[in-house]
Structure 1
């Protein structure tokens, strides 16, 4: 079958379309004929060796498709089911057929397009798990540091759905988007604390950081209770500051809840570009360069005329 991945750790020059065997599902796994697959920063980080991988490997961490085989102990799914979920080891999704972890898979509702479903497990799933971890009461104020990115958009929307006030740091070019999702946008950089205080004079109850580095160190000073400081961008620093990483759930229940929110119009995965598998290199370059304004998704076959539902 056709797939896209890398032949050795390094730069984009090691990426290629590959001919690889059709995978066989093991215990707790499904095999799906891929309709759509998400593109994430973790894909280029895997290729460059950040996770210790030596290659070769097929890229792709999340997919939506039709089940073609069910492995042992993968209860709740049958051949022909339309599903979406995460790939074992967070690899293998950019292919005509891919494996999906059954415990991190869910049935795709008819009203949720494959392109939207394939964008949920990684970014929206992280956002969902972060809010569950913080467990803030309605009316509390959350600062999202980096609200204009792939996780920032979902976390703002999900936080607003929980009744939270949200302030989001972002580049000025993304302020309109951050505001559309429901947050009060403030600019990064010098003076950010003054701008946050102006946007939230009542104070900040929790911080979810998606930037890391000095930006994380700065906004952490807004909290006296560092147990309400989360970061997925700089795990060593957030631990040093008294906060923590997000504990991922990666469950069918979370994916089912996210799909329901998309179907209701509460959550927009913000898919802004859909490309065929053959253009995976272009898709990954856009994400790696930080030029993607929203979620980039690959499809196997000719891209459909995908239109996200408006947020209600």
Structure 2
């Protein structure tokens, strides 16, 4: 039977297990994919603790971990068009991606360009697409300055590159250990920690035009003091705090068209997925711990052998 990495109840890492389960069957508007790679994101472990995405319902347990995959179409659901068996695709999983097989909704599934590896493609549907949505939501003109907190993580790395491709100046907040990495992306690095706003003002004396927060909490509160126009304050990490501060969450499009766009940016050389670590499926626990500890540079991906 196919293997999958699941959580059996809400809680900590002790709820996780590698299990065998029936191969899923695609429903209307879905394709069954033989997974080649699955991206690992902070939202994965947060869902294990009981966090639910806006508009999402309770998960049926045990639930497969993971939200983004790349693989090969094995079976089509009823009335599916635009895809055939054997197509190489990537997208957002219906109910988990750390598995040998996953279901993808065709509305959030794109054809993988031949030049894009499965591993890199699996890094795009959540992190890169969130970054793309957020940067375009801000609607800044070329030459403007955007502050990105958490610039060294999966979404931050993509957001920095997408912003730079649009001609924006980026001030990237990250730990001191990620300074060289953030600067390699083309951003002005500012170390995280107390007195953040003062350090940002020192490197951006003319101010910042927008804030794309990926940390939340005190970092988000400090960054908000740099803006007069809070409509230019968005977060992918802390909806409650940003609402209190007068900003808003990243508005996710969740469409195949966005996936096509981020894949095109990769193909054009303007966006590097920066996959910095890969793990086989039987070491999914290690992959998720690496992300859960919060010190990852770029993206972690689980590779599924065939």
TM range (shorter): over 0.9
Q: Does 1:81 align with 2:95?
A: no
Q: Does 1:266 align with 2:256?
A: no
What is the distance in 2 between the residues matched to 1:190 and 1:64? 40
- In the alignment, which residue of structure 1 is the partner of 2:116? 112
Q: Following TM superposition, by how much is the alpha carbon of 1:189 offset from its aligned partner in structure 2, in angstroms? A: 2.1
Q: TM-score, normalised by structure 2?
A: 0.95
What is the distance in 1 between the residues matched to 2:240 and 2:137? 19
- In the alignment, which residue of structure 1 is the partner of 2:6? 5
What is the distance in 2 between the residues matched to 1:9 and 1:194? 40
What is the distance in 2 between the residues matched to 1:121 and 1:74? 20
1:133 pairs, out of 120, 129, 137, with 137
Q: Does 1:190 align with 2:194?
A: yes
Shift of the 239–73 alpha-carbon distance from structure 1 to 2, 3 Å rule, reads: farther
Q: Following TM superposition, by how much is the alpha carbon of 1:240 offset from its aligned partner in structure 2, in angstroms? A: 0.8
SS across alignment from 2:272: coil
Q: What residue ranges of structure 2 are gaps of 5+ in the alignment?
A: 53-57
Aligned residue runs from structure 1 range 85-104, under 5 A: 85-88=91-94, 91-104=95-108
Kindly report the root-mean-square deviation, in angstroms, between the aligned alpha carbons of the 2 structures.
1.2
What is the distance in 1 between the residues matched to 2:101 and 2:150? 34
Which whole-Å deviations, capped at 9, do the CAs of 1:210-236 have from their partners, x for residues lacking one?
Answer: 111111111101111100000111101
What is the distance in 2 between the residues matched to 1:292 and 1:190? 21
Aligned residue runs from structure 1 range 80-229, under 5 A: 80-88=86-94, 91-229=95-233
Aligned residue runs from structure 1 range 246-285, under 5 A: 246-285=250-289
Cα pair 1:47 1:53 within 8 Å, conserved: no
Q: Does 1:59 align with 2:60?
A: no
SS across alignment from 1:290: coil
Which whole-Å deviations, capped at 9, do the CAs of 1:43-71 have from their partners, x for residues lacking one?
Answer: 11111222254621111101000001111
Q: Following TM superposition, by how much is the alpha carbon of 1:300 offset from its aligned partner in structure 2, in angstroms? A: 1.1
What is the distance in 1 between the residues matched to 2:69 and 2:296? 19
Q: Does 1:301 align with 2:305?
A: yes
Cα pair 1:40 1:287 within 8 Å, conserved: yes
Aligned residue runs from structure 1 range 225-240, under 5 A: 225-240=229-244
Q: What residue ranges of structure 1 are gaps of 5+ in the alignment?
A: 303-312
Q: Following TM superposition, by how much is the alpha carbon of 1:73 offset from its aligned partner in structure 2, in angstroms? A: 3.5
Q: TM-score, normalised by structure 1?
A: 0.93
Q: Does 1:286 align with 2:287?
A: no
What is the distance in 1 between the residues matched to 2:197 and 2:51? 32
State how many pairs are aligned. 300
Q: Following TM superposition, by how much is the alpha carbon of 1:293 offset from its aligned partner in structure 2, in angstroms? A: 2.2
